[in-house]
Amino acid sequence: MSGVVFPIHIGELNGKLLRFFKAPTDEPQLVWHAWDDLVACASLPRDLSERFQRSMRRDYPDGVRTIGTTEGILTIAPHWMALGFIGSMIENKRMPASAELFYTIQSVDAWNALTGDLCRPQGMDLFLAALQNTNKNGGGEASVGGGV
C-alpha cells in the first residue's frame, strides 16, 4: 500500500454509499469496489459482517487489496466478488432482488468515469480486455452483471 487512493466513482446501493476504484493491477480489469462499503450495504449484524470480512481475507488473500483513502484504511475487491456477495445476500433476503441490477449500473458508471472520452474502438477493446482479465483472475463466467 502506498499513498492515498481516491475513488473513481461513488454510487449508492441499498440506500448506502458504495465507492469504486481503478483495479490495482498491471493489466486492465473491471472496476473494483470498496468491500467494506458493500458489506455495509447489506446492513448485516456486526458479528456476521465481521465474519464475512475475515473469511474473505482468509479465502482470497491474493484477490483483495488494502488501500489508504482520505477516510482511512479500506479493503477493495474485484467485480466478481461483488456479484457473488450480492447474489448471496439476495438469496438470503438481506438485499432486494434489484440490488444486482443497481450494482451493475453503478459499476458501468464507474467504468465510464475511468475510461472517460476514449473513442469507441479503443474503449471497446479496453473493456473486452478488462472483462477477459477479470474472468481469468477468478471471475468464472465473464459477465458485467447477472448473465449479461
For residue 3, being part of any structural domain is answered with no
For residue 57, being part of any structural domain is answered with yes
pLDDT exceeds 50 at position 143: no
Where are the extended beta strands (E) located within 40-142?
A: 65-69, 72-77
Residue 139 has a pLDDT of: 53
For residue 70, being part of any structural domain is answered with yes
**39: CB partners within 8 A, 6+ apart:** 49, 52, 53, 85
pTM: predicted TM-score of the whole model, two decimal places:
0.84
Give the range of the structural domain holding residue 133, as residue numbers without chain letter: 9-98+113-139
pLDDT exceeds 80 at position 120: no
For residue 85, being part of any structural domain is answered with yes
- How do beta strands 65-69 and 72-77 pair? antiparallel
For residue 86, being part of any structural domain is answered with yes
Mean pLDDT (whole number) for 65-91 = 94
Mean pLDDT (whole number) for 49-78 = 89
Mean of per-residue pLDDT scores for the chain = 88
C-alpha 65: how far from its chain's center? 12
**Phi-psi map region of 8: left, alpha, beta (phi>0 left; psi -120 to 50 alpha):** alpha
Count of domains in the chain? 1
Q: What is the pLDDT of residues 8-54, one digit of tens each?
A: 999 999 999 999 999 999 899 999 999 999 999 999 989 998 898 88
Q: What is the pLDDT of residues 93-114, one digit of tens each?
A: 999 999 999 999 999 999 999 9
- Angle subtended at Cα 34 by Cα 33 and Cα 35, rounded to the nearest 5 degrees: 100
For residue 147, being part of any structural domain is answered with no
Residue 142 has a pLDDT of: 42
**Residue with the larger pLDDT of the pair 22 and 147:** 22
DSSP state of 9: E
User: To the nearest 10°, the Cα dihedral for 15, 47, 95, 114?
Assistant: 60
pLDDT exceeds 50 at position 141: no
**Banded pLDDT at 140 (limits 50, 70, 90):** low
For residue 103, being part of any structural domain is answered with no
For residue 132, being part of any structural domain is answered with yes
